[in-house]
């Protein structure tokens, strides 16, 4: 089948078919629907697309490039992609996309599949891709029925809190984020579960993603019983918090024990060092792309591929392995994952 035959069946001109496939000029919704229905019904794939390198679309969140760890993920994506073409798509441009959009992208760009960097908006995008029968993998925890690769946030964060506990700290504060992002929810739930298990009163400072950071971030230090230890669940937020502590003349870890999510080169270079959660982002992103390519090429749609990569708690060059979490606490945290 060729474009002329598609045009005849759709009742349009060959040039209209070309415009729909290549996206070179606007086409009315009615004509586009007519062409796509014929294409989908006949499984048509243009020869030019059959010959070209196939494309992997990567859906990134709005703040992706502002994070110190984004380079780790991009390196992993490139590691796994090989000779395939990578196209970055901002999440907000496809958050309300319909299945037909993705089918059209498969025709126009030779789309092999989609990698979603998981955020609070990922569910709608995943639903659209699922209905379009486009292979996709989420880098981050997705639905139980989807394919995903996830770097642990829960157990490793509890280990950082437990390190504080065994150092004698009982007033342990948490700076995190509120909202629908799965990682933000996981970190907050891990903190609350840990504090409940140890019988400690939670002290939370919850921020809104995208809102400017202010001096209020450490306002809890002015309370009658300020924390002696602080876990910050974000790399950029950790940098800002360290600056605020410095303004107050407080040293880490001399005046307040400190731990944060990583990786980030500036946090890693801090002297003296403090505990950092090191997620295997490059390894995880590479595995996510390799999983996507396998799904696209071998059609493993009946098999759910879900990988959880362990994260490390490090302090300088040392990987912290002790103390081990109590068994009962480990079970409670595992139920969150």
Whole-prediction pTM:
0.80
Residues 82-101: tens digit of each pLDDT: 888 898 998 888 877 777 77
The CATH number of the domain holding residue 112 is: 3.40.50.2300
Cα–Cα distance between 65 and 174 in angstroms, integer? 25
Residue of 303, 304, 295, 242 whose CA lies nearest to 273? 242
Residues 240 and 273 in one domain: yes
Helices 122-132 and 99-108 meet at what angle, rounded to 10? 70
Contacts of 93 (CB under 8 A, 6+ apart): none
Residues 243-287: tens digit of each pLDDT: 999 999 999 999 999 999 988 999 999 999 999 999 999 999 999
For residue 28, the enclosing domain spans 1-44
What is the phi-psi region of residue 43: left when phi exceeds 0, alpha when psi lies from -120 to 50, beta otherwise? Answer: left
Quick one: pLDDT at residue 102?
77
Considering Cα of 35, then 36, then 39, then 42, what sign does the dihedral take?
negative
Quick one: pLDDT at residue 331?
96
Residues 129 and 191 in one domain: no
State how beta strands 172-178 and 203-208 pair.
parallel
For residue 187, what are the CA distances in angstroms to 37, 94, 136, 149, 191?
45, 27, 25, 17, 6
Residues 102 and 74 in one domain: yes
Residues 158 and 140 in one domain: no
Cα–Cα distance between 118 and 107 in angstroms, integer? 25
Residues 248 and 327 in one domain: yes
**Which three-class secondary structure state does DSSP give residue 261?**
strand
What number is the average pLDDT over the span 218-241?
93
- Where among 10, 25, 44 does a domain terminate? 44
Show the CA angle centred on residue 67, arms to residues 88 and 62, nearest 5°.
45
**Number of separate domains in the chain:** 3
Show the CA angle centred on residue 332, arms to residues 329 and 335, nearest 5°.
150
Cα–Cα distance between 165 and 249 in angstroms, integer? 24
Q: Please, what is the end-to-end C-alpha distance for the chain in angstroms? A: 49
Contacts of 316 (CB under 8 A, 6+ apart): 273
Residue 50's pLDDT band (boundaries 50, 70, 90)?
Answer: very low
Residues 197 and 136 in one domain: no
What number is the average pLDDT over the span 222-246?
94
Per mean pLDDT, which range of 95-99, 137-141, 303-307 is the poorest?
A: 95-99
Of 176 and 42, the one with more pLDDT: 176
Cα–Cα distance between 206 and 128 in angstroms, integer? 31
What number is the average pLDDT over the span 199-208?
94
Residue of 145, 152, 118, 116 whose CA lies nearest to 289? 116
| Maximum alpha-carbon separation in the chain | 79
SS (H, E, C) 118-171: CCCCHHHHHHHHHHHCCCEEEECCCCCCCCEEEECCHHHHHHHHHHHHHCCCCC
- Name the helix (H) or strand (E) containing 278: strand 276-278
Residues 164 and 254 in one domain: yes
Residue 51's pLDDT band (boundaries 50, 70, 90)?
Answer: very low
- Name the helix (H) or strand (E) containing 88: strand 85-90
What number is the average pLDDT over the span 312-323?
94
The CATH number of the domain holding residue 10 is: 1.10.260.40
Q: What is the mean pLDDT of the chain?
A: 87
Residues 171 and 274 in one domain: yes
Cα–Cα distance between 59 and 92 in angstroms, integer? 9
Residues 167 and 239 in one domain: yes
Residues 33 and 56 in one domain: no
What number is the average pLDDT over the span 203-223?
86
Cα–Cα distance between 270 and 274 in angstroms, integer? 8
Please answer whether residues 194 and 329 qualify as being in contact, where contact means their C-beta atoms are separated by less than 8 angstroms.
Answer: yes
Per mean pLDDT, which range of 33-42, 192-201, 220-229, 317-326 is the poorest?
A: 33-42
Residues 319 and 202 in one domain: yes
Cα–Cα distance between 179 and 314 in angstroms, integer? 28
Residues 168 and 130 in one domain: no
């Amino acid at each position: 089948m060729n474009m002329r035959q598609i045009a005849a069946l759709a009742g349009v001109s060959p040039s209209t078919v070309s415009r729909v496939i290549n996206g070179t000029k606007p086409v009315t919704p009615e004509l586009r629907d007519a062409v796509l229905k014929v294409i989908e019904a006949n499984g048509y794939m243009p020869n030019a697309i059959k010959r070209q390198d196939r494309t992997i679309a990567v859906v990134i969140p709005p703040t992706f490039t502002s994070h110190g760890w984004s380079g780790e993920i991009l390196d992993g994506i490139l590691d796994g992609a090989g000779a395939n073409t990578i196209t970055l798509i901002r999440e907000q441009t496809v958050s309300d996309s319909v299945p037909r959009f993705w089918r059209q992208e498969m025709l126009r760009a030779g789309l092999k599949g989609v990698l979603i960097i998981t955020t609070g908006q990922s569910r709608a995008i995943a639903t659209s891709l699922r209905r379009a029968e486009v292979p996709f993998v989420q880098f981050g925890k997705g639905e139980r029925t989807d394919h995903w690769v996830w770097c642990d946030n829960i157990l490793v964060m509890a280990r950082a809190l437990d390190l504080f506990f065994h150092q004698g700290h009982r007033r342990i504060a948490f700076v995190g984020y509120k909202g629908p992002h799965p990682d933000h929810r996981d970190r907050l739930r891990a903190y609350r579960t840990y504090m409940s298990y140890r019988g400690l009163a939670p002290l939370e400072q919850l921020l809104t993603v995208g809102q400017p950071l202010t001096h209020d971030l450490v306002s809890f230090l002015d309370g009658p019983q300020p924390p002696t230890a602080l876990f910050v669940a974000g790399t950029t937020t950790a940098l800002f918090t360290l600056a605020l502590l410095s303004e107050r003349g407080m040293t880490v870890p001399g005046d307040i024990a400190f731990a944060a999510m990583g990786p980030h080169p500036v946090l890693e270079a801090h002297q003296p060092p403090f505990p950092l959660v090191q997620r295997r982002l490059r390894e995880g992103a590479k595995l996510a792309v390799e999983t996507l390519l396998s799904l696209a090429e071998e059609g493993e749609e009946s098999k759910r591929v879900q990988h959880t990569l362990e994260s490390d708690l490090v302090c300088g060059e040392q990987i912290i392995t002790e103390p081990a979490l109590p068994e009962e606490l480990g079970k409670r945290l595992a139920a969150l994952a």
